[in-house]
């Protein structure tokens, strides 16, 4: 704690990136704690706030009537003082290909504890490197996050790709009184594998077909008894801005778990390679025996910390993003996390159980 009970955060520790800002400012807003973040993205090639981080911070500041000092591109230190969380419409525009899904990550926990329903109009990249693709958010994150007792309505108005972005996603959420704990430890058996390979802009549908075909071949080498259904799609020109391509493949299990692998195309990258990358990512997630894939684990931490009761998730190797999310969730909420190797006989040596006794945050606005 710093001046007047302000929490001081070192933005260079652990993962050392934008995730520290997202977790800390969302929790600052929810717990009504002032925050000072220093050394923001200190180890990155371009340290300090980038446009997408700043637009996320501005949106949170707006939705909780907060105050912020140091909110400039390149700034390595901010002070954030939250106010009262309000519903209504909030707009964030990265004006770049910065990820709309990362904007959603910082705003979503906050609006769950608002006084009235919220609409978030998020503009930027929908399928961006180093961030969840919007398809992942819809196909994996949304149904799993809804197990906490929230309802997430997400409408893709327009897709936007690197380098210009130009996409728009509208998210509508109603507030909750409290979040339920979740238990995702029994993976069950894989019952269905499906996916989506897309192209947009100047790329021919042939590229999507090559990605899908390479992915199916790769999966068939390991999983022979299931039909793999990957749709190939050319995004309508009026629903996509720029040129892009990519693929997401989802495995559904008998217990309602969802795990994925995804990859994005880029100039000079062979379409087969994109398909194989996504397939290998999915197979890796299936091999470790977890009920949650490597990219979902860190996204669930903040909700586990806020939920009313004990949450447990079984996952593969613990990622640095997850360790970072746990560190800052514990620091700010005082929720208690434990991480232990899974003892189940059917798990690989890499499987872990993340357990959290949540703080049971109550929405006092309702």
Examine the residue annotation and report whether 321 is marked as an active-site residue of this protein: yes
Please check if 296 is assigned to a binding site.
yes
> Do 133 and 262 touch, CB atoms closer than 8 A?
yes
Give the integer Cα–Cα distance in Å for 233 and 223: 24
Torsional class of 180: left (φ above 0), alpha (ψ -120 to 50), beta (otherwise): beta
Please check if 93 is assigned to a binding site.
no
Coil, strand, or helix at residue 78?
strand
How far is residue 201 CA from its own chain's centroid?
A: 26
Please check if 299 is assigned to a binding site.
yes
Tokens of 313: 């998730």
Half-sphere CA count of 121, side-chain side, radius 13 A: 7
Please check if 298 is assigned to a binding site.
yes
Active-site residue identified among 53, 90, 288, 321:
321
DSSP 208: H
Please check if 112 is assigned to a binding site.
no
Q: Any idea which residue has 């339920």 for tokens?
A: 180
Please check if 105 is assigned to a binding site.
yes
How far is residue 114 CA from its own chain's centroid?
A: 21
Give the integer Cα–Cα distance in Å for 331 and 290: 26
- Residues forming the annotated binding site? 105, 295-299
- Residues forming the annotated binding site for ATP? 105, 295-299
Catalytic machinery residues: 321
């Amino acid at each position: 704690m710093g001046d007047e009970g302000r929490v001081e955060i070192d933005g260079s520790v652990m993962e050392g990136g934008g995730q520290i800002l997202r977790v800390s400012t969302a929790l600052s807003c929810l717990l009504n704690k002032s925050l000072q973040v220093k050394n923001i993205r200190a180890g990155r090639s371009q340290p300090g706030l980038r446009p997408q981080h700043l637009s996320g911070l501005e949106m949170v500041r707006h939705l909780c009537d907060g105050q912020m000092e140091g909110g400039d591109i390149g700034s390595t230190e901010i002070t954030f003082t939250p106010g009262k969380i309000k519903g209504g419409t909030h707009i964030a525009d990265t004006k770049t290909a910065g990820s709309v899904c990362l904007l959603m990550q910082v705003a979503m926990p906050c609006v769950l504890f608002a006084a009235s329903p919220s609409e978030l109009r998020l503009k930027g990249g929908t399928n961006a490197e180093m961030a969840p693709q919007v398809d992942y958010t819809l196909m994996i994150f949304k149904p799993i996050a809804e197990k906490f007792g929230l309802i997430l309505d997400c409408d893709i108005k327009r897709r936007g790709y690197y380098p210009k972005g130009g996409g728009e996603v509208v998210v509508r959420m109603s507030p909750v009184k409290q979040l339920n704990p979740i238990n995702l430890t029994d993976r069950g058996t894989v019952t269905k594998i499906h996916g989506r390979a897309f192209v947009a802009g100047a790329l021919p549908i042939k590229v999507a077909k090559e990605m899908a075909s390479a992915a199916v071949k790769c999966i068939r080498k390991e999983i022979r008894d299931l039909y793999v259904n990957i749709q190939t799609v050319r995004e309508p020109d009026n629903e996509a801005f720029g040129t892009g391509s990519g693929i997401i493949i989802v495995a559904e299990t008998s217990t309602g778990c969802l795990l994925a692998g995804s990859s994005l195309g880029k100039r000079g990258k062979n379409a087969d390679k994109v398909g194989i990358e996504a397939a290998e990512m999915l197979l890796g997630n299936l091999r470790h025996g977890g009920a949650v894939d490597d990219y979902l684990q860190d996204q669930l931490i903040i909700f586990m910390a806020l939920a009313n009761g004990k949450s447990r998730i079984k996952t593969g190797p613990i990622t640095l993003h997850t360790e970072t999310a746990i560190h800052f969730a514990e620091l700010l909420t005082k929720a208690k996390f434990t991480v232990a190797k899974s003892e189940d006989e059917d798990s690989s040596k890499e499987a872990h159980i993340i357990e959290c006794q949540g703080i049971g945050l109550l929405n006092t606005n309702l």
